[in-house]
């Protein structure tokens, strides 16, 4: 138990015991700018938030390390966007812009199941993600009630998992498998998405639309799950820890909408 208390304190100032707590602190801000030109409007925005989640659960409700779990998660996100939007009264309306997103995540997870299994476990890792996208949209009014719409976006994304460490600890705090580390896993891709469709407005409150779309669901890096044993299989050489590729989908949804 002494070793587990030391681990908890060194990984976030936590002391094992029957009292549980959960803390989630998020701070951030947004800065936006708008500038008008002849026939167009420029919009720029920057947002940032930083979050820290700390949690300690004692499912055994006792001082003994029967079922203690601790989390310490930090996440930061930076988002920037730049859009140029037409403001003319002509039949053609357009919008174009750039979008940037950067995310960092670090996580620490510790278990105190020594009284149940005879050992403790810890998992630590870092993740980063960056997306840069360019987009454009056109709307052409064929008649006062019928318009043709088209849009396209190209995303370049990189996601990476760094320094994934899954350790087994003795009651004295000794790590029995110091080499159980994945140095890195990453995923990078560049993919376009788009749509084309028709909108029909017979009245100011009713809309009919039909479109053909090609979309995408972002890829990622799956969680790594190991069974609870004193000698889990090593992380290296395991093929099921690879990245999940982005998913593509095509849709042609007609529909209606009613506005009050």
The domains of the chain are located at 2-258
Helix (H, G, I), strand (E, B), or coil: what is residue 7?
Answer: helix
**pLDDT at position 232 over 70:** no
Instruction: Report the share of the chain in percent with pLDDT over 70.
Output: 73
Q: Is 38 left (phi over 0), alpha (psi -120 to 50) or beta?
A: beta
pLDDT at 100: 97
* CA angle 81–211–214, rounded 5-degree value: 60
Mean pLDDT within 228-234: 55
Question: What is the Cα–Cα distance from 177 to 119, expressed in whole angstroms?
Answer: 12
CA 232 to chain centre: 28
- Lowest-pLDDT range, 92-96, 185-189, 252-256? 252-256
pLDDT at 66: 55
**pLDDT at position 113 over 90:** no
* CA angle 169–170–172, rounded 5-degree value: 115
Mean pLDDT within 89-117: 88
pLDDT at 40: 94
Farthest-apart Cα atoms in the chain, separation: 78
**pLDDT at position 236 over 90:** no
Question: What is the Cα–Cα distance from 61 to 181, expressed in whole angstroms?
Answer: 32
* CA angle 211–215–217, rounded 5-degree value: 150
Instruction: Report the share of the chain in percent with pLDDT over 90.
Output: 38
Residue entry with tokens 């053909």: 212
**pLDDT at position 139 over 90:** yes
Question: What is the Cα–Cα distance from 3 to 58, expressed in whole angstroms?
Answer: 17
Q: Which CA distances in Å does 8 have to 3, 119, 200?
A: 9, 14, 62
Residue 109's nearest CA partner among 167, 51, 49 is 167
Question: What is the Cα–Cα distance from 174 to 170, expressed in whole angstroms?
Answer: 5
**Beta-carbon neighbour count of residue 245 at 10 Å?**
10
**pLDDT at position 8 over 60:** no
242: its two tokens: 């690879």
Quick one: fold of 2-258?
Maltoporin; Chain A (2.40.170)
Please provide the DSSP assignment of 24-38 as one string.
EEEEEEEEEEEEEET
Residues β-bridged to residue 125:
107
**pLDDT at position 200 over 50:** yes
pLDDT at 2: 31
Residue 42 binned pLDDT confidence (cut-offs 50, 70, 90)? very high
pLDDT at 9: 40
């Amino acid at each position: 138990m002494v070793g587990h208390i030391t681990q908890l304190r060194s990984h976030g100032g936590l002391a094992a015991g029957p009292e549980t707590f959960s803390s989630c602190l998020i701070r951030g801000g947004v800065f936006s700018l708008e500038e008008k030109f002849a026939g167009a409007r420029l919009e720029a925005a920057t947002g940032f938030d930083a979050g820290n989640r700390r949690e300690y659960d004692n499912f055994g409700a006792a001082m003994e390390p029967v079922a203690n779990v601790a989390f310490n998660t930090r996440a930061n996100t930076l988002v920037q966007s730049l859009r140029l939007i037409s403001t003319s009264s002509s039949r053609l309306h357009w919008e174009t812009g750039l979008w940037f997103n950067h995310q960092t995540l670090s996580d620490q997870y510790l278990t105190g199941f020594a009284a149940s299994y005879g050992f403790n476990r810890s998992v630590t890792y870092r993740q980063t993600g960056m997306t840069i996208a360019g987009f454009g949209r056109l709307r052409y009014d064929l008649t006062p009630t019928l318009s043709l719409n088209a849009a396209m976006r190209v995303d370049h994304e990189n996601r990476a998992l760094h320094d994934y460490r899954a350790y087994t600890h003795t009651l004295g705090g000794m790590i029995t498998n110091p080499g159980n580390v994945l140095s890195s896993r990453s995923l990078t891709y560049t993919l376009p998405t788009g749509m084309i469709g028709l909108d029909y407005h017979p009245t100011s409150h009713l809309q009919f639309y039909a479109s053909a779309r090609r979309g995408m669901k972002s890829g990622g890096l799956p969680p790594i799950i190991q069974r609870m044993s004193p000698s889990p299989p090593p992380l290296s050489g395991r093929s099921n820890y690879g990245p999940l590729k982005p998913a593509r989908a095509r849709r042609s949804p007609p529909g209606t909408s009613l506005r009050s």
